Structure 1
Amino acid sequence: MAVPQIKIPATYMRGGTSKGVFFKLDDLPKAAQVPGTARDKLLLRVIGSPDPYGKHTDGMGGATSSTSKTVILSKSSKAEHDVDYLFGQVAIDKPFIDWSGNCGNLTAAVGSFAISNGLVAQDRIPQNGICTVRIWQANISKTIIAHVPVTNGEVQETGDFELDGVTFAAAEVAIEFLDPAADAGEGGGAMFPTGNIVDDLAVPGIGTFKATLINAGIPTIFVNAADIGYSGTELQDMINSDNAALARFETIRAYGAVKMGLISDISEAAARAHTPKIAFVAPPQSYVSSSGKQVDAGDIDLLVRALSMGKLHHAMMGTAAVAIGTAAAIPGTLVNLAAGGVAREAVRFGHPSGTLRVGAAATQVKGEWTVTKAIMSRSARVLMEGFVRVPGDCF
């Protein structure tokens, strides 16, 4: 006899240019309240993965890397923090959830959810003003601060802040990523795991490229667009419709991951699809964004295109934006050179959907580069709240 469906309290939220299904940890079935197979199976079924049709027709996912996401939140176990934030990037066509990194875009929604769902102490929420939510990012063991607008004691979601890659304006949420260089589990704690700001990355069968390999926000491999045959003005379809190009990017990413010390052999890259990211950069050029908006070269400092889960992202991952801002602040990186090679504490870059500004201040101490924080603005909104339903025996 078939087991009936169960219902689980959940909230469907947009954060930045991503959206995902948010859960409170103690609302999950007991077996899924701890890491492991049961949790992964449950979340895969919620999203609708694996889907050989690539549509997520039978789940909450949107069949893209930016819309196939899950978040688990709980009152923080860390002193001086409000909420613990665990992020799961769900593969579309494989039975796999990558827990190796953060989602910077959904971070904008974490603060809002935490306030609205009793995870922030009431005495820390102003009646009107900005609520500072202290987030412990459990995937990467980092502190993130979200500045969430509050009106009449409730999260204010509406506003006039426009974010390229998001259709409608909303309230601005400022996000601070504190000490964004990766922890000791990601390349030994060094911002530049090889010790170099630029490396020669040898990729058998493809070539040798200049690359900046950086641990900040999320481990990221930056290469020059011209070195791999691109201009930096590409939109999604040009890359994502080219299977050979996607395979080349994945091969470069795998060899970069080995060089960064994240994996020991390229065969392990498939099980670590969320990290590292791979991106290509170029000096400013004018182009027309995916929405038809003209982006003028004079309005940006450089061009960046980044891939997530094997596809060119429609805008920019929030964590990759942290990596871009950090690398731009450090003289001599490929990102800094594409932006003109000058010292800077903020950078505005062009991505497929438009532009984004991110700030970061870098300092060099005893030969080692450090960044105390990176800052950018996003927005967030509840799309639906209630329950998700899944077959009771799916996990």
Structure 2
Amino acid sequence: MTTFAPQIKIPATYMRGGTSKGVFFRLQDLPEPAQVPGQARDNLLLRVIGSPDPYGKQTDGMGGATSSTSKTVILSKSEQPDHDVDYLFGQVSIDKPFVDWSGNCGNLTAAAGAFAINSGFVDAERIPQNGICTVRIWQANIQKTIIAHVPITNGEVQETGDFELDGVTFPAAEVQIEFMDPAGEGAIFPTGNLVDDLEVPADVVEGGTLKATMINAGIPTIFVNADQIGYEGTELQEAINGDDKALAMFETIRAHGAVKMGLIEKVEDAANRQHTPKVAFVAPPKGYMASSGKEIAAGDIDLLVRALSMGKLHHAMMGTAAVAIGTAAAIPGTLANLAAGGGERNAVTFGHPSGTLRVGAEAEISNGQWTATKAIMSRNARILMEGWVRVPSDSF
């Protein structure tokens, strides 16, 4: 008779943060082999989420079969001075045996602050009985500081509230997030230019050259103009995600941009770096109907932005890409800035498929180079379920 390994259970919390949701773990709760980076950790997280799934559904796991819902987070008491928690994010591929550790999830940052408080990572004397708890997060993927301002009522995280976020059905308590010094390692513009002529195959765009702003803020992002690739910037998911030719075009743009940004050596390497960079297209304001049926007027927004994540058009906007949008819009001459009308600005409201989002950013020239000092946005978050996840004990 064949014997099979039993399932084990691991303490976990299922949380929504912004327009994403993921499975949150405390580092010390993971099985010992998964407490360090490596294949055992990746295999465990893949099994938790239900990947790789050739059916693309993640039915046998906690994933929701979209880039927004195929996420994992590991938090631990911070090893950095003047920080409360170390926040490590793993983007789990849906159809491949692959966890991408190359970037942050800005949306889940809102949940990371609350999870840190609930998990005892924030010293008790820093948590007010009523008011705002400032959680100092070290984002371990990108080695950056993020400050989450988490509301507290009667000594506990306040999750319910009236802050509405387009792309999320129900309101919750507002959590303001500050992304400090959001540019990644090296220059904010890796090519040294605000706008580049990005060479791509001629079947992508006539002439084989695409205007692109490639910025490293929040997350490496490639901005192109909607009209140059045949779009208006008002598109919803179905207009692109059901079009295999369009998705292949965006992946080609992403791969060539990644090489130009110095993130990969050759175009073929992009397949093993799915989470970064992001690719987005921008356009001047124009009215449209959001996916919820809500009318967005041109006067409500400064620009239109549509962004792809893990090969598909995102249903709203990734938090990290919002940081890139705000930072790029604050720097005169970038494609995002020009789509918003040009000039200097320290905040923009942009239209995305689910509605609108406002993001503030501060950028300045230092020693002849642009630098970003911080980006600010509001999100909300709440616990959906807590307890344990179960996986077969031989799956990692």
Q: Deviations over 1:160-218 (max 9, x none)?
A: 000000000000000000000002xxxxx100000000000010232211000000000
Counterpart-to-counterpart distance in 1, 2:343 and 2:333: 9
Shift of 1:275: 0.2
SS for the counterpart of 2:94 is coil
Shift of 1:367: 1.4
Counterpart-to-counterpart distance in 1, 2:105 and 2:307: 14
Counterpart-to-counterpart distance in 2, 1:361 and 1:176: 11
Match of 1:37 in 2: 39
Q: Which amino acid aligns with 2:22?
A: G
Match of 2:210 in 1: 209
The equivalent position to 2:196 in structure 1, one of 196, 199, 213, is 199
Counterpart-to-counterpart distance in 2, 1:391 and 1:41: 11
Q: Which amino acid aligns with 2:285?
A: P
Shift of 1:366: 2.1
Counterpart-to-counterpart distance in 1, 2:23 and 2:264: 29
Q: Deviations over 1:214-264 (max 9, x none)?
A: 000000000000000000000001100001100010001000000000001
Q: Which amino acid aligns with 2:189?
A: F
Q: Deviations over 1:74-116 (max 9, x none)?
A: 0000000000000000000000000000000000000000001
1:1-395 correspondence runs (5 A): 1-183=3-185, 189-205=186-202, 206=204, 207-395=208-396
Shift of 1:9: 0.1
- Runs of 4+ off more than 3 Å: none
Q: Which amino acid aligns with 1:210?
A: K
Counterpart-to-counterpart distance in 1, 2:159 and 2:367: 44
Shift of 1:66: 0.2
Shift of 1:358: 0.2
Counterpart-to-counterpart distance in 1, 2:339 and 2:99: 34
Structure 1 residue runs of 5 or longer lacking an equivalent are: 184-188
Shift of 1:371: 1.2
Indicate the RMSD between aligned Cα atoms, in angstroms.
0.5
**TM-score when normalising by structure 1:** 0.98
Q: Which amino acid aligns with 1:85?
A: Y
Counterpart-to-counterpart distance in 2, 1:158 and 1:22: 20
Counterpart-to-counterpart distance in 2, 1:278 and 1:141: 22
Q: Deviations over 1:284-306 (max 9, x none)?
A: 00000000000000010000000
Number of residue pairs aligned between Structure 1 and Structure 2: 390
**TM-score when normalising by structure 2:** 0.98
Counterpart-to-counterpart distance in 1, 2:108 and 2:102: 15
Shift of 1:365: 1.6
SS for the counterpart of 2:56 is coil
Q: Which amino acid aligns with 2:389?
A: V
